[in-house]
Amino acid sequence: MTKNLEDFNIIIVGVGGQGLITLLKIINKAAQKEGLDLVSSELHGLAQRGGSVEVHIRFGKEIYSPLIKQGGADLIIALEAQETLRACYYASKKKTVFLVNKFINPIIGAEKTLSFEEISQNLQKFSKKTIFVDASEICKKEFSTDVVSGIYLLGLTSAQKILPLKESSLIETIKEIVPEKFLELNLKAFNLAKSY
């Protein structure tokens, strides 16, 4: 992690069941490996049943609050594109980088589903930099499943140097956390992001 960085604040958003908590665990443990102070916050129970989910991860020096403050996110990873907009609460034009999966899960009861252009337009006020990526599509094509699109995005944060953790700490942690039979697939997805 860059030496003069006080703290780094990550929000991951998506829809319940997209594997946000696994990503959180990997980032947490990798940060810990690097000797950083850290705190994260997640939600369980009803909040998780297919609704909007957000988790907070903070690491650096002297970290206290488990929640990131309004406008305080450095990096927002969105596993579902529309949910990106909900995370704008934590974003600011000054510093927030968005990494958005170009995957849409329609909101039941909504009048319409937003297009990527509309999402992108809305982000302008909140984003310093936005990367849209077809993570679900790429993973489906390559592995015939999109369950690893979160890991692919994590690989991309590393490849694009928008997450101040070492690639080696992330890979080591994936090896520790992901069950043996899914490990190869996860590592492949992580590494595939390098060729994006």
Partner 1 sequence: MDILLKESRQKLALLGNEAIVRAALEAGVNFVSTYPGTPASEIGNIFSQIAKNNGIYFEFSTNEKAALEAGIGASFSGLKTLVAMKHFGLNVCADALLPFCYTGSKGPFVLYVADDPSCWSSAQSEENSRAFSYLAHIPTLEPSESQECLDFVKLGFEISEKLNIPVMIRTTTRVSHQSSPVQIGKINLNNNFSKGKFIKEPKRFVTMTPRVLEMKKELIEKIEKIKKLSEKSSINKIEKGKGKVGIITSGVSYLYVKEALKELKMDLPILKLGFFYPLPEETIKKFLKNLKKVLVVEELEPYLEKEIARIAQQSNCKLQIFGKNLIPEVGELKPEIVLVAISQFLGKKISFDFKKHLKDFQKINLPKRYPQLCTAQIAPPGCPYWLVFSALKKVVSENTIIGGDIGCYMIGSLPPHNLYDYLSCMGSSIGIAHGIKKATNQKMIALIGDSTFFHAGIPALINCVFNKSNPLIIILNNQITAMTGHQPHPGVGKTGMAEETTLIKIEEIVSACGVKNLKIIDPQNFEEMVSSIKEFLEKEEVSVIIARRICALLAKKLQK
List contacts with partner 1 (CB under 8 A). 15-17, 24, 28-29, 32, 37-52, 62, 64-72, 82-83, 85-86, 88-89, 92, 107-111, 114, 122, 125-126
Smallest separation (angstroms) from partner 1 to the CB of 186: 18
Please work out, in degrees rounded to the nearest 5, the angle formed at the alpha carbon of residue 135 by the alpha carbons of 174 and 96: 85
CA 163 from centre of chain = 10
Q: Which is nearer to partner 1, 107 or 162 (CB)?
A: 107
Nearest residue (CB) to partner 1, 120 versus 191: 120
What's the min distance (Å) between Cβ of 68 and partner 1? Answer: 7
136 versus 156: smaller Cβ distance to partner 1: 136
The Cα-based distances of 181 to 13, 19, 184, 186 in angstroms read 26, 17, 7, 10
Q: Is the Cβ of residue 68 or residue 156 nearer to partner 1 in the bound state?
A: 68
How are beta strands 52-60 and 37-41 bridged, if at all? antiparallel
CB of 196 to partner 1, least distance (A): 27
- In whole angstroms, how close is the CB of 152 to partner 1 at the nearest point? 21
Axis-axis angle for helices 135-143, 180-192 (nearest 10): 120
Measured from the CB atom, is 30 or 77 closer to partner 1? 30
45 neighbors 67 (Cβ within 8 angstroms):
no
d(CA 39, CA 56): 8
Separation CA 134–CA 2 (nearest Å): 29
Shortest Å, Cβ 134 to partner 1: 20
Q: Is 117 exposed, middle or buried (0-12, 13-18, 19+ CB in 10 A)?
A: exposed
The least CB distance from residue 167 to partner 1, in Å, is 20
Nearer to partner 1, 90 or 190 (CB): 90
